[in-house]
Amino acid sequence: MISLDKLVRKNILSLTPYSSARDEFKGEAEVFLDANESPFNSPYNRYPDPLQLKVKEKISVLKNIPVDQIFLGNGSDEPIDLIIRIFCEPTKDNVVAIDPTYGMYKVAAQINNVEYIPVSLNENFELDAQNILNNCNASTKIIFLCSPNNPTANYLDEHEIRKILQQFEGIVVLDEAYIDFSAHKSFLHELDTYPNLVVLQTFSKAWGLAAIRLGMAFAQKDIIHLLNKVKYPYNINLLTQQHILKAIEDTEKKNSWVRTILQNRQELIEQLQTLPLVQRIYPTDANFVLVKVQDANVVYQFLVEQKIIVRNRSNVHLCNNCLRITVGTKEENLQLLSALKKMKIKIDS
């Protein structure tokens, strides 16, 4: 990897970050008159901890990662945007990403006026490291990988990911939003092996907490330091911090939800396979399945009429006539299946 100082934008390297009252005085006191807060309406009148130390200590135990290698963001979307802003000079640098993948990498690059270079997976949605590396140039600062990938649902080959981590001189962001649903190993414990690795995880999927907006980035501490420099001072509000402290206590609840979803996923796949309109179900390591049907637009529209919403991915690269179906409860999945069966009758008659 190139040294971080050379990789980072100069304005970010020399930036003096905003220093809040809570940055300048941390600790216990009797009277706080330093932040222009209201003295009334406790418990929400005070600014929250800008570095979310209590939350990070819990996450540190949960993930077995040191506190100074953890960044918390307003969803994963925040670290995605910040990493681009930290490393990419607008109109000059570029980022490379697998195609198809999660749409936010491209949007975040475009908002920052940073060129986005999509590199196609093969028709089985597999990653070819050499092909990714061949599409990088001297101005490529970041490679975005997503495993298990969205919307293709598959886990990317570990050895191909390693090749990229070893050979690429810039930052590799590996988005593991769906890792809890996968039998494959996370790269979380390889941060010491790969100083250019940033692993993204989230509380939005397996933990069932999409509404509280809490995403995690894990990386070597110098990268975390840069993220902390650039973020909004109070990016994680107190309600979210309090809620996650409670939720983290109950990992068994999360684990049992994951087990249920994996069971429901298996049943859903088996039932979908019996339907003539289903042409192909792609292998999944996530809480959704990508399904190729005869005419995705027609099926999508029919399901909307039945008040069932899936994601039509038909216009996405390599996903022609594909629907992305999130695994729901048993009842929700049965409702979907019975609607799809009804559709066959409608077409036949």
Ligand X SMILES: *Cc1c(COP(=O)(O)O)cnc(C)c1O
Question: Which residues make up the interface to ligand X (CB under 6 A)?
Answer: 75-77, 102, 146, 150, 175, 177, 202, 204-205, 210, 215
3-state secondary structure of 94: strand
- In terms of CB distance, is 155 or 302 closer to ligand X? 155
Q: Which lies closer to ligand X via its Cβ, residue 19 or residue 110? A: 110
Min dist. Cβ of residue 288 to ligand X (A): 9
- Residue 149 CB, nearest approach to ligand X (Å): 7
Both tokens assigned to 230: 């650039």
C-beta of 109: minimal distance to ligand X in Å? 15
Concatenated DSSP letters of 144-197: EEESS-TTT-PPPPHHHHHHHHHH-SSEEEEE-TTGGG-SSPPSGGGTTT-TTE
Residue type at 260? T
Q: Minimal distance in Å, beta carbon 146 to ligand X? A: 5
Rounded Cα–Cα distance for residues 244 and 79 (Å): 18
Q: Which is nearer to ligand X, 204 or 240 (CB)?
A: 204
Comparing every residue's Cβ against ligand X, the nearest one is 75
Look at the alpha carbons of 269, 271, 273, 276 in this order and tell me if their dihedral is positive or negative. Answer: negative
In whole angstroms, how close is the CB of 171 to ligand X at the nearest point? 16
Looking only at the bridges linking them, the beta strands covering 171-175 and 197-202 are: parallel
Residue closer to ligand X by CB (options 22, 205) is 205
Measured from the CB atom, the residue of 175 and 285 that comes closer to ligand X is 175
Residue 153 beta carbon to ligand X: minimum distance, rounded to whole angstroms = 10
Kindly report the number of other CB atoms within 10 A of residue 27's CB atom.
4
Of 108 and 336, the one with the shorter C-beta distance to ligand X is: 108
Shortest Å distance, C-beta 178 to ligand X: 7
CA separation for the pair 316, 312 (Å, rounded): 9
| CB closer to ligand X out of 51 and 153 | 153
Cβ 227 vs Cβ 82: under 8 Å: yes
Question: Distance between CA 240 and CA 233 in Å, rounded?
Answer: 15
Question: Nearest 5°: CA angle at 109, between 108 and 112?
Answer: 90
